[in-house]
Amino acid sequence: NAGVTQTPKFQVLKTGQSMTLQCAQDMNHNSMYWYRQDPGMGLRLIYYSASEGTTDKGEVPNGYNVSRLNKREFSLRLESAAPSQTSVYFCASTSTGSTNEKLFFGSGTQLSVL
Amino acid sequence: EDQVTQSPEALRLQEGESSSLNCSYTVSGLRGLFWYRQDPGKGPEFLFTLYSAGEEKEKERLKATLTKKESFLHITAPKPEDSATYLCAAYLRGYQKVTFGTGTKLQVIP
């Protein structure tokens, strides 16, 4: 089982460049999430998608856009990268309805913006 | 505004010295409360999901409990390998939003 797959694992950008972080899950989950993690800040929610066709802003959406391409895929785009977006990015997914729901996480993308 | 607050920010224990971590939440409607463990350079590792006040779950030296306003992660006789950052998160009813606290960094000294 692949679970949640994120690409790339590492990326270095120059200020102003754009890029898309890819996330795919093979567990038929309804909900998908993008978080960023900075030292001492825990996980902060950027955007989430409760179901295919819907997306909502989280706590820190500025500078990002998302696309829920289909049920499996949820991408995060940085249109014009800034040094403040240097962080570790995690994608996660879950599905409601079971008695032991949990978030499944990808392995993370370490992004540096110079 | 939905908020999840964890305390303390950092905790240093001697091996065998039991303690508790706190997670308090103010949210519009709680569906469930998650606990995760995270080691440096790794993604979060799932520990527990709690759904209703009074519920308790255990795993090895860890026990999680839930009230209407907070959750506790009790660590009994910790070992150095329990050193990690422990994260809690509120899973909200209705729109499936999941909000994390900033974590408690636990260090267990031999």
Largest Cα–Cα separation, chain A = 45
- Number of other CB atoms surrounding residue A106 within 10 Å: 24
Cross-chain Cβ contact B97/A96 below 8 Å:
no
Cross-chain Cβ contact A100/B96 below 8 Å:
no
The pLDDT confidence band at residue A1, using thresholds 50, 70 and 90, is low
Cross-chain Cβ contact A103/B43 below 8 Å:
no
Cross-chain Cβ contact A43/B87 below 8 Å:
yes
What residue ranges in chain A does DSSP mark as E strands?
4-7, 10-13, 19-25, 31-37, 43-49, 56-57, 64-68, 74-78, 87-94, 104-105, 109-113
Q: What is the pLDDT of residues A15-64, one digit of tens each?
A: 999 999 999 999 999 999 999 999 877 899 999 998 888 999 999 999 99
Chain A residues in contact with B50 (beta carbon < 8 A): none
Q: How far apart are the CA of B43 and the nearest CA of chain A, in angstroms?
A: 6
* Residues in CB range of A63: below 8 A, 6 or more apart: A78, A79, A80, A82, A84, A85
Work out the average pLDDT over A67-80. 95
